[in-house]
Amino acid sequence: MSKIKAAIIGPGNIGTDLLIKLLRKAKYIEPTVMVGIDPESDGLARARKFGIKACDTGVEGLMKMPEFADIDIVFDATSAKAHIANDAALRKAKPGIRMVDLTPAAIGPYCVPVVNLEDNIDELLNINMVTCGGQATIPMVAAVSQVAKVHYAEIVASISSKSAGPGTRANIDEFTETTSKGLEQVGGATRGKAIIILNPAEPPVLMRDTIYTLSDIADKAAIEASVEAMVAKVNSYVPGYRLKQKVQFEEIDPQAPLNVPGVGKMSGLKTSIFLEVEGAAHYLPAYAGNLDIMTSAAMGAGETLAHHLLQQTANA
């Protein structure tokens, strides 16, 4: 079977884990180049061991490589600021190239594979994978939105401090802003709020996500069923994604409303969802579920896109 050739920019933890996932599991993508800026990078050295071409002169170097002519998809696992420059440079050199963005840059439309990946896939030149917290929590807000109108959604993503590298720490503001918008644009909430906690506990803890929604009063059993079905969908590509306990509900009386900061007084049905995300440990430790869910979602998005491109070629 022919495959779509791809490059990965960013040979750090996320880029290396993504490379290993693609090499082990991808049906429609063939990673051919790993791109970085440090000749001594462990990620580039590891790529070479896997038989992957390594470029240590960044995107400019990638565009000069003969392999670039055959690359149709580029995964960017750098930073929000770097991705903006990378996208502009690559798009100038090859206007139709497809980018899968694992940073919070949010150039392209927000994408959560189980919710909206196949919407307008022909126009998706830059697929924005939101954030790790977004990939974990937006599906839950979308699940509630399938049953009831969600007026407010708030998520708290708690991750091990050890799994938060320089890129994550440098993009905290972008994380909260991008995730909040994703809760609205993909999850369906009228207003969204995101909080991230870097937990320094030893031994390192697994990723935990808490999701609160305030919606119209609705059938609680229907919401619970929708949430469980969505968990199963995410679990199909992130096996460590699971509910920590049963979905909880509380009806907020209009006579005793909640005062939501920045929003005001609200009533209705409060739904509380508690998740745990354990990593697959392909390259990263099992506690780094926050990174694993990003690489798994990015591979899922890339595979769907590559399959679509191959079908287009076959039908041409």
Rounded Cα distance between 290 and 202, Å, is 17
By mean pLDDT, which of 7-11, 85-89, 124-128 is the weakest?
A: 124-128
What tokens were used for 216? 């119209």
Instruction: List the beta bridge partners of residue 75.
Output: 8, 100
| Strand 248-252 with 268-277, pairing | antiparallel
**First and final CA of the chain: distance in angstroms?**
17
pLDDT band at 299, cuts 50/70/90?
Answer: very high
Rounded to an integer, the average pLDDT of 282-302 is: 95
Domain ranges of the chain: 4-130+293-315, 132-287
Rounded to an integer, the average pLDDT of 153-172 is: 91
- The architecture of the domain spanning 132-287 is 2-Layer Sandwich (3.30)
Place of tokens 């049906």: 27
**Tens-digit pLDDT profile for residues 200-223:** 999 999 999 999 999 999 999 999
Is 80 exceeded by the pLDDT of residue 227? Answer: yes
At the topology level, CATH places domain 4-130+293-315 in Rossmann fold (3.40.50)
Give catalytic residue positions. Answer: 132
Question: In this predicted structure, what is the pLDDT of residue 250?
Answer: 98
**Tens-digit pLDDT profile for residues 46-71:** 999 999 999 999 999 999 999 999 99
Say if residues 32 and 7 touch (Cβ distance below 8 Å).
yes
Alpha carbon dihedral 59, 60, 65, 67, in 10-degree steps, equals 30
Question: In this predicted structure, what is the pLDDT of residue 3?
Answer: 97
pLDDT band at 118, cuts 50/70/90?
Answer: confident
What 3-state class would DSSP assign to 141?
helix
pLDDT band at 5, cuts 50/70/90?
Answer: very high
Matching fold, domains 4-130+293-315 and 132-287? no
Say if residues 55 and 34 touch (Cβ distance below 8 Å).
yes
Going along 121-260, which residue ranges are E strands? Answer: 126-128, 150-160, 191-199, 207-215, 241-243, 248-252, 258-260
Place of tokens 């022919």: 2
Instruction: List the beta bridge partners of residue 304.
Output: none
What tokens were used for 205? 């803890």
